[in-house]
Amino acid sequence: MSSSNLNVGTRVYLKRKVDKPEVTRQGVDDAVKDIVETVRRDREKGARSYARRFDKWNKSILVSKEDIERAIQRVPYDVKKDIVFAHRQIESFARAQREALNGRYKYSFFFESLDALYVPFTHLTDTKTVTPGGVIAGSKVLPVNCAGCYVPGGRYAHIASALMTVTTAKAAGVPIVVASSPPKDEHGIHPAVVFALVTAGVDHILCIGGAQALASMAFGLFTGHRADVLVGPGNRFVVSAKRMLFGEVGIDMIAGPTEACVLADHTADPLVVATDLVSQAEHGPDSPCVLVTTSRELGEKVNSLIPKLIKRLPNRSLAAATVSWRDYGEIIVVNTRKECADVSDEIASEHLEVHCADLDWWHANLRNYGSLFLGEETCIAFGDKTSGPNHVLPTRKAARYSGGLNVAMFTKTVTYQRMSRNVCGKIAPFSARISRAEGMEGHARSSDVRMKKYFPTKRFDLETKMPELAARL
């Protein structure tokens, strides 16, 4: 049951979430394990069997060029323009991230034709240094060879998720991007999702959902390209599949239900705050939505407004938002903005809105969040769809140590080293002595054999300790 006027320390809860036992995932994990192992063993046959069973889909899993063209034709022109606008926003931000990793991304965009042309990286910055011992050591950032992007189905058409995942992968320079999404109807994937995937630069589209989709991309089914990284939101079956496949492939994160937290003071508009919380409750019946405020008056107004706003939602969203707010909604009143920031960092919400004076102070002092939305003009829904920064974000307090999907998740930093013969002669004795201190004689002899070959007149460790063996090197 929700609690009213409950005091916990300096906090007052005008509304508190319902205490519920933690949902066990054992049944889900067992089911997903069966799916993954069946697809691993039976390959495409196994994936198709689950597509028929769960998606009611008995047509081709790999979406053909002809089917893509037919889907795109079904998308209204105005919707195409909106998708293209959102793509440009997301792509621009992702390119800025990529440049921060010392790479370059070249692109050309043709707005009139609603098309995008991607040109591969022509240069990856090579970061070099020379160590005190004279070793030339370097690193460079390389994209993975193939990324698998999951776009959920369900009650909504997740256009934005298609853009967020594929666009970011392409901006990172990934040569092959495979996307998978369940069919909406007898025609296949929602046509606007297909258009979004094509606009973002996808290479292959699979019409399949759930754990079987993740396994198909991980094992390279239908395309011949095994995903090195799997990304994208999804239900608990998708999350379980990611967890199970991690190690064979990289993943973006283990995400839970969408979370939203709003920080507000006396300057905030209660209607705007309430509307934003309801917008996030719409995601699902288990989406936490929290208001932390220094103004009791504001908190009480928001608490009275939210049920009214939920009742005005269409049926598709009404049930989810009702349960979400009833079971997971909270309104917390604190005394100072410092307490407000502390509570926020404790919550570590996926999305964090700030409706307060002195936004610079909040920007400087808040630490734990997936994505921060500063000021009334900047709302979570914008970030969900079109602002630019990614909406695939950490949940369940993972924002304490992790950020959202970004180009770095599609790249790897590799290192190299090179030595001249003279530098080898400087390094080898140190390496030999440390190896012997560790008890790793084989390692030490890799140093010794080079000293014997390159500097035959010099004495080295093995010659001193085991001259007979050194003579045979």
Q: Are 105 and 170 in contact (CB under 8 A)?
A: no
Question: How many domains does the structure of the chain reveal?
Answer: 3
Instruction: Verify that 316 and 460 share a domain, yes or no.
Output: no
User: pTM to 2 decimals?
Assistant: 0.86
- Whose CA is closest to 375, among 273, 255, 247? 273
* Residues 239 and 262 both lie in one domain: no
- Residue 338, pLDDT above cutoff 50: yes
Structure tokens that stand for 458 in this block: 């010099």
**Identity of the residue numbered 183:** P
Q: Which pLDDT value is given to residue 434?
A: 93
Q: Are 381 and 276 in contact (CB under 8 A)?
A: yes
Give a yes or no: residue 134 inside a domain: yes
Residue 413 lies in a domain: no
283 is catalytic: no
Same-domain pairing of 288 and 218: no
Between strands 176-181 and 204-207, the pairing is parallel
Same domain, 358 and 267: yes
Backbone angles phi, psi at 93, to 5 degrees: -70, -40
The one-letter code for the residue type at 50 is Y
> What are the phi and psi torsion angles at 55 (to 5°)?
-100, -5
Sheet holding 126-130, edge to edge: 126-130, 136-143, 411-418
What is the DSSP code (8-state) at residue 318? H
Q: Which two tokens stand for residue 419?
A: 């030595």
- pLDDT for 238 beyond 90: yes
In a domain, 9, yes or no: no
359: left (phi over 0), alpha (psi -120 to 50) or beta: alpha
* Residue 3 belongs to a domain: no
- In whole numbers, what is the pLDDT of the chain averaged over residues? 90
- Are residues 456 and 378 located together in one domain of the fold? no
Last residue of a domain, one of 216, 237, 253: 253
Tokens 């707010």 sit on residue: 325
**What is the structure's pLDDT at 465?**
63
* Banded pLDDT at 298 (limits 50, 70, 90): very high
Which CATH number fits the domain that encloses residue 342? 3.40.50.1980
- Angle, CA of 164, 409 and 195, to the nearest 5°: 25
Based on the domain organization, do 360 and 287 belong to the same domain? Answer: yes
Residues spanned by the domain of 432: 420-472
Is position 353 within any domain? Answer: yes
Choosing from 350, 353, 376, 391, the catalytic residue is: 350
Question: Does residue 112 surpass a pLDDT of 80?
Answer: no
Domain end, chosen from 401, 430, 452, is at: 401
In whole angstroms, what is the distance from residue 161 CA to residue 391 CA? 8
Establish if 159 belongs to a structural domain. Answer: yes
The reply to whether 135 and 247 lie within a common domain is yes
Asked if 105 and 180 sit in the same domain, the reply is yes
Q: Indicate whether 366 and 442 sit together in one domain.
A: no
Selecting among 190, 204, 351, 391, the annotated active-site residue is: 351
112 is catalytic: no
270 in any annotated domain: yes
Sheet strands (E) in 98-256: 106-110, 115-119, 126-130, 136-143, 146-150, 176-181, 204-207, 229-231, 250-251
48-106 residue pLDDT tens = 999 999 999 999 999 999 999 999 999 999 999 999 999 999 999 999 988 887 544 43
| CA–CA distance, 200 with 420 (Å, rounded to integer) | 46
Residue, of 128 and 279, whose pLDDT is higher? 279
Last residue of a domain, one of 196, 227, 253: 253
Handedness of CA 157, 201, 212, 233 (dihedral sign): negative
